[in-house]
Amino acid sequence: MSAKAALLSSLKAGQLSEVTALLRYGFLSKDQTQYKTLDSVPPRSSSDYNRAMCYYFLNFTSRSFARVIQELDAELRHPVCIFYLVLRGLDTVEDDMTLPLDRKVEVLRSFWQILEKRGWTFTENGPQEKDRVLLVDFDVVIEEFLGLKEKYREVIADITKRMGAGMADFVSGKKVVTLDDYNLYTHYVAGLVGLGLTGLFVASGLENPKLENQDKIANEMGLFLQKVNILKDFLTDVKEGRLFWPQAVWELYVPKGAGVEALAKPENLDRALACLNHLCADALDLVPSCLDYMSLLKNQSVFQFAAIPQLMAIATIHHFFNNPLLFQQSGNKIRRGLAVKLIEQSTDIESVKRIYYNYALSINDKNGRRVGTNPYDESFLRVSLACSKIVKWIHVHDKEHGKVRAAGGANGTFWVAVLMAIIAILLTFSMLPVAH
């Protein structure tokens, strides 16, 4: 999305604070150091070719998250970058529907050993696979992996082994039927990332050693992110025939005998919303654990690294809860301006608590207003309970830290709204210069 489109979208929503956040993020924080802006292949002759290629891939595969990784303290930056690329490689094998099943399973199960094979590359992905190039040049990731300290290599290899085996089970026919299956699948693809990152944080010596025995909440950090991804990708995934919504839940809502794709039909919108809200409640139940995890973090750069995706996820649930758009058009996201504002507010646990508090109250409010509007929807109490538990967690934490919570005030006045409308009109007719 262009800078102008992002600005317009926030202006149209009447969010001045997002507009100012976008301007600050775009114009003030251009850090040219390191590899943050590397967006072309480095010359093969350069002495740091392998490392530069890894950051090129990182920037290529995930623009915004790449920036967050590179804000980590130097000791963790490279291990996390390599961990991310290894996982991305595994994902690219798992995702590709053109690979023969036997071959796919073989590569997934042995990927942790491949990490030690100097010179290994993989050219068997279909041409449409977005991150195909990463595997075509995977030897550079292997070189950098082999250059990491042993304590980091151990964590990465262990997680890769467990994740590859779990993915292989699911691609070989295991289905996401029950809630247990849903929790197991999300454990393999995201919960294990939480365990691995925690292992890296502790090994670096930069983080709270107490994290070591926190597998449950580390796992749930990942589960929350992945469950929100699975919710928001409904249309794209259903079209590609690989939906991860648990059957035991969608079965409660589709017309008798129908498949999950029935939820994409306009005449089934009420059923679809009821199912969505049920799964939102299931995801929201994980939030107290995520807050527990974040409240244990001590290092500033690690805190922001962990908090930013969590804030995006809660904002995404807030956006999609009971929202018909999820079933009507794919590729919907929270506004870029909102994302940037959340990044700016990810600095410390008090700021994060305030954001969660507002979202929990707002979701609870939307929940209250929908009572009686949908005959299929039975998750009203579930959602309400999940929101109450989030608010309760925050109150308990406030009390333990001597904090008094003030009620949120209104933001925005009549004149601010008028000013924003004028800027929006000028932008629409391209009368203001904005960088692309």
Residues that bind ligand IN0 (CB under 6 A): 62, 64-65, 80, 83-84, 87, 189-190, 193-194, 197, 221-222, 225-226, 305-306, 309
Q: At what angle do helices 3-12 and 336-344 cross, to 10 degrees?
A: 90
Query: With left for phi above 0 and alpha for psi between -120 and 50, is residue 330 left, alpha or beta?
Result: beta
Supply the minimum distance, in Å, between the C-beta of residue 305 and ligand IN0: 5
Nearer Cβ to ligand IN0, position 211 or 276? 211
CA distance 303 to 214: 16
Given a contact cutoff of 8 angstroms between Cβ atoms, the answer to whether 391 and 314 are in contact is no
Triad 47, 51, 56: Cα angle to 5°: 115
CA quadruple 30, 36, 37, 42: dihedral sign: positive
Per-residue DSSP letter, 206: S
In the bound state with ligand IN0, the residue whose beta carbon lies nearer, of 135 and 221, is 221
The DSSP result for 86-100, as a single string, is HHHHHHHHHH-TTS-
Quote the CA–CA distance of 343 and 6 in Å, as a whole number. Answer: 15
Return the structure tokens found at 242: 């690989």
Q: Which is nearer to ligand IN0, 61 or 364 (CB)?
A: 61
Q: What's the min distance (Å) between Cβ of 198 and ligand IN0?
A: 8
Q: Which is nearer to ligand IN0, 197 or 272 (by Cβ)?
A: 197
Residue whose CB is less far from ligand IN0, 19 or 230: 230
Segments in 187-299 forming alpha helices (H):
192-204, 215-232, 234-239, 247-250, 269-284, 287-296
Question: CB of 412: closest distance to ligand IN0 in angstroms?
Answer: 28
Tokens of 360: 């929990």
Q: CB–CB of 380/280 below 8 Å?
A: no
Closest-CA residue to 89 (of 37, 131, 32, 26)? 131
Instruction: Identify the DSSP state of 188.
Output: I
User: What is the smallest separation between the CB atom of 87 and ligand IN0, expressed in angstroms?
Assistant: 5
Q: Identify which of residues 73 and 378 has a Cβ nearer to ligand IN0 in the complex.
A: 73
CB of 76 to ligand IN0, least distance (A): 11
Residue closer to ligand IN0 (CB basis): 94 or 377 = 94
In Å, how far are 210, 377, 387, 394, 409 from 361, measured between CA atoms? 31, 20, 7, 12, 14
- Going by C-alpha positions, the residue among 391, 297, 339, 368 that lies closest to residue 17 is 339
95: Cβ contacts below 8 Å, ≥ 6 apart: 129
Nearer of residues 166 and 194 to ligand IN0, judged by Cβ: 194
Least distance from ligand IN0 to the Cβ atom of residue 403, Å: 25
Smallest distance, ligand IN0 to C-beta of residue 239, A = 18
Separation of alpha carbons 357 and 380, rounded Å? 19
**Contact predicate 131/144, CB 8 Å:** no
Nearer to ligand IN0, 6 or 225 (CB): 225
- Smallest distance from the beta carbon of 190 to ligand IN0, in angstroms? 4
- Which lies closer to ligand IN0 via its Cβ, residue 18 or residue 377? 18
Decide: 207 and 297 in contact? Cβ < 8 Å.
yes
Q: Least distance in Å: CB of 193 to ligand IN0?
A: 4
Question: Least Å distance between CB 224 and ligand IN0?
Answer: 8
